[in-house]
Amino acid sequence: MAIPLQIRVQAAAAQLVFALPRPLRRLIAGRPVRIDGQELALDAQVLLRLQKVSGAGLGTGEVPNARTMLEAGQLVINGRRTEGVTTREVTIPSGDTSLEATLYTPDGLPEPSGLLVFYHGGGWVVGSRTTHDGAASYLAKHAGVRVLSVEYRLAPEAPFPAAADDALAAFDFAHAKAANLGADPDRIAVGGDSAGGNLTAVVALETTRRGGPAPAFQLLLYPAVDFTTRRRSRALFGENLFLTDESMTWFEGHYVPEGTDKADPRLSPLLASDHSGLPPAYVVTAGFDPLRDEGEAYAEKLRAAGVSVALSRQEDLIHGFLSFTGIGTRFREAVSEVAGALRLGLADTKTTS
């Protein structure tokens, strides 16, 4: 797909801004932002200033326009795929429909390898394999695993529980067709960011409770896990920090049909009655994120149930940082840590022991 001239200009301008000396970037960003004993990273503050200047928003207005804006925004801040990764398209059956997916394979990676079934973020309404192409290829290359990025159905065309059903179908497909994907069926993880983190938690719960094949590892990046409670972080960070209180309400309004029980574990996995026996988890939160507190509450719930959990709060970052590796350095540092955790979580114990 040809990138429009306006987007190429905006991307070049963003790169120039982030290449400026730190004092000039601080001048552009303004005074440091400190909330709840944390200081916002300069890279994040510069990004938010550029977002404000461009007028871009997340989860506002008409759905088609919101989707277009997110696609364009990702081309500006994370438009290039990581080198040394090849792709092929995969079709996944899901009930009466089929899903498209992209398989990312680092060059030279032997078979069978670990595999991450990846669910993109975007509030179950926006986002796609395209918006998360850079993130998926980055994780594949730096974690040394294959990544299957899934195009699950979006609301409002397909509201809850369609995305959850698709996410489960994608994991089952990956496990059943592991050999065709070059993967080890015993080393398949599920992972995703934001709404994708929600779907990750749901798949881990559903597969464990049914007693069938379950993921070996779960990667939860600033996940949404509870639709029933407004926590303190939503009040602290619900304005002017990328994901807003208003946009969260907008996403919920499109994804959750009226009359739905919001305590349903397929919607609010934090509220499941039993979390024991779930796969080991790496939970990442962002300090300046409305979802921070519920993600950390989920990590504590897993730990209390005896699940092996590592919790990492990137206290100086904002929601969505997985998709910002194309600018600055701080976002790449955080995502490199995520990739390291994924590499460790899917390590081949037969060769490392």
Residues 55 and 87 in one domain: no
Q: Give the range of the structural domain holding residue 55, as residue numbers without chain letter.
A: 5-73
Catalytic residue list contains 98: no
How much is the pLDDT for 106?
98
- What are the tens digits of pLDDT across the range 251-264? 999 999 999 999 99
Q: What is the mean pLDDT of residues 111-124?
A: 98
Q: What is the mean pLDDT of residues 224-248?
A: 97
Residue 319 pLDDT more than 50? yes
The CATH number of the domain where 192 resides is what? 3.40.50.1820
Burial 93-121 (b: 16+ CB within 10 A, else e): ebeeeebebbbbbbeebeebbbbbbbbbb
The helix or strand, by DSSP H or E, that contains position 273, with its residue range, turns out to be none
The helix or strand, by DSSP H or E, that contains position 169, with its residue range, turns out to be helix 162-176
Residue 79 pLDDT more than 60? no
Total structural domains within the chain? 2
Residues 111 and 237 in one domain: yes
Residue whose pair of structure tokens reads 């609301």 in the numeric block: 155
> Which residues partner with 318 through β-bridges?
288
Catalytic residue list contains 319: yes
Residues 103 and 173 in one domain: yes
Strands (E), 200-338: 217-221, 281-288, 309-318
Q: What is the mean pLDDT of residues 161-177?
A: 98
pTM (whole model) above 0.85: yes
Choose, from 194, 233, 268, 323, the residue flagged as catalytic. 194
Catalytic residue list contains 142: no
Residue 54 pLDDT more than 80? no
How much is the pLDDT for 353?
43
Burial class (CB in 10 A: 0-12, 13-18, 19+), 245: middle
Q: Which two tokens stand for residue 184?
A: 């080890």
Residue 352 lies in a domain: no
Given strand 183-193, what is the order of strands in its sheet? 85-94, 97-106, 146-151, 113-119, 183-193, 217-221, 281-288, 309-318
Asked if 195 and 224 count as a contact pair (C-beta separation under 8 A), the reply is yes
Residues 101 and 53 in one domain: no
Label residue 3 by pLDDT band (50, 70, 90).
low
Give CA–CA dist 56/60, Å, rounded: 10
Residues 95 and 208 in one domain: yes
DSSP assignment letter at 225: -
Choose, from 226, 289, 293, 316, the residue flagged as catalytic. 289
Residues 147 and 228 in one domain: yes
Q: What is the mean pLDDT of residues 320-342?
A: 95
Q: What is the mean pLDDT of residues 157-167?
A: 98
Final residue in a domain of this structure, among 48, 73, 98: 73
Residue 351 lies in a domain: no
Task: Look at 45-54, 133-142, 213-222 and tell me which has the smallest mean pLDDT.
Answer: 45-54
How much is the pLDDT for 349?
67
Residues 35 and 94 in one domain: no
Type of residue found at 95: G
Choose, from 184, 254, 319, 323, the residue flagged as catalytic. 319
